[in-house]
Amino acid sequence: MKQLLTLARRSQIRLCLNQAIRLASSAVAYVSPFTTPATLSPTPPHILPYDNAAETVNSKLKKLENPDSRFLKYASPHPKLASHDHILSAPETRVTTLPNGLRVATESNLSAKTATVGVWIDAGSRFESDSTNGTAHFLEHMLFKGTERRSRRELEEEIENIGGQLNAYTSREHITLYAKVLDTNVNQALDILADVFQNSEFREARINEERNVILREMQEVEGEIQEVVLDHLHATVFQHTPLGRTILGPAENIKSITRDDLQNFIKNHFTAPRTVISAAGAIKHEEFVEQVKESFTNLSSDSTSTSQLVDEERAMFTGSEVRMINDDLPLAQFAIAFEGASWTDPDSVALMVMQTMLGSWNKSVGGGKHMGSELAQKVAISELAESIMTFNTNYKDTGLFGIYALAKPDCLDDLAHAITYAVTKLAYQVSEDDVTRARNQLKSSLLLNMNGTTPVAEDIGRQLLTYGRRIPTAELFARIDAVDASTVKYVANKYIYDKDMAISAIGPIQELPDYNWFRRRTYWNRY
């Protein structure tokens, strides 16, 4: 009962207070009729409502011209154009060009515990002559056979002691040396690469030993029929031009290459402007650049570029074929190819999408009946081949786009029809669903292939040599997304429709149709 009385008293007090507040406010708002007009300051009758609005805007503009300093602590109120490249290119690839033209590129990931350091040289078998063909690959072998500071044994033991991996390879346009090590051994790995790159000793005894190694390697490669088919394809497509030469070179050249040939190749092609030092993983860019300056001091600054060398002897596509009948082989292997696009050609992206649309399939993997590629479905359902593979190879001035197949002899005719139909169809009938699926598959495969420091370092080195920069993932994906059905038809008409092709085949290939049969099926008589 006492609590109820207390609550009632409080409510009465609140009502009294509210009434007092209302009376006070009304008294303030009330104006005496005796108040003079000057104290009221009424709005002049000649000012219209939109004039008041204009004055309000002007007052706000004056505030912007003289803003309160408290609001300028982090940014200006005036918008300005800003670059977002650092966001779109994340993780950032930093590139530093030294005075002699040597480029140093890194992609840092300090959370990684390993790093890959490599040297990428813009030189390969296409920059050799007929008499020196095979020198670049021979040189790759000799770089790890001892230097002025380290013997062969010391070099191998040093890499083994730090738990590193040292490797190298040669292609038609590039030579690559790289080492993968722990984050604590990056400086040591770079010192080893600089030593073998600049100070390798080419002793006659080592050269003679390596001849036998390379000759045995050639015998092993000849046993890889796929490698032989693709080498023959290059030889017939680019006949009488540098790209037609093999990477290993002919056996007679391997037997006759001398120490002077190796040193001349280094002198002419191992120059600073044509070299990229690339690293990915646990790398600090500034420290890495400083060590490169200290280690790579003996490089030539010759400004002759590979573009000048390519222009002197450009690759020429020739529609032709080469066939080697060998009934001892159980399966027939062949490749057909059209002239493709160069690295820097805008059509190269569309050809990548077309490569994904045609797809690849292997009988041992299975699943072809439900693949997105119409060609793979037909081959799998009808069991026309053991495997098929679409390839798209780029070079500085040209390229190759085609399909490699492995099949039984009695399936060759049907398989050839399925391949030519699928390829030529790209110039006539393309659905947006197929293009969208191919774009998604291409983007995912590109990202999945960048898993690890070695693929990233390799990608940086290759792109700097071919494009002159590292293309950000966002930009590359934007280029891929710009490819639609009309783009595929346009590019297919440009590179496939009624165009010459090249054929390379080995094995029991008597049932494989002739060149004119393939050539007639590069177009349809449809309107």
Active site residues: 140, 210
Candidates 191, 170, 171; CA nearest to 179 is 191
Tokens representing 381 are: 């359902």
Ordered alpha helix ranges (H), 313-360: 347-358
- 443-451 CB contacts, 8 Å cutoff, 24+ apart: 443/477, 443/480, 445/356, 446/473, 446/476, 447/473
15 phi, psi to nearest 5 deg: -65, -40
Residue indicated by tokens 């400086």: 187
Query: How many helices, marked H, and strands, marked E, lie in the chain?
Result: 21, 12
34 phi, psi to nearest 5 deg: -90, 0
The separation between CA 350 and the C-alpha centre of its own chain, rounded to angstroms, equals: 14
The separation between CA 65 and the C-alpha centre of its own chain, rounded to angstroms, equals: 48
For residue 276, list its beta bridge partners. 103, 120
Strand pairing category for 275-281 and 399-407: unpaired
CB 274, CB 305: distance < 8 Å: yes
CB 332, CB 411: distance < 8 Å: no
Tokens representing 183 are: 């984050």
CB 180, CB 210: distance < 8 Å: no
Length of the chain: 527
Segments of 264-331 assigned E as strands: 275-281, 320-325
Interhelix angle for 186-198 vs 285-295, to 10°?
30
Strand pairing category for 320-325 and 502-507: parallel
The separation between CA 507 and the C-alpha centre of its own chain, rounded to angstroms, equals: 35
CA–CA distance, 455 with 464 (Å, rounded to integer): 14
Segments of 294-398 assigned E as strands: 320-325, 332-339, 361-362, 387-394
Tokens representing 325 are: 């009948």
Amino acid at 486: S
For every residue of 85-100, DSSP letters joined together read HHHHTPSPEEEEE-TT
Candidates 391, 339, 340, 356; CA nearest to 483 is 356
Three-state SS for 392? Answer: strand
406 phi, psi to nearest 5 deg: -130, 120
For residue 505, list its beta bridge partners. 323, 334
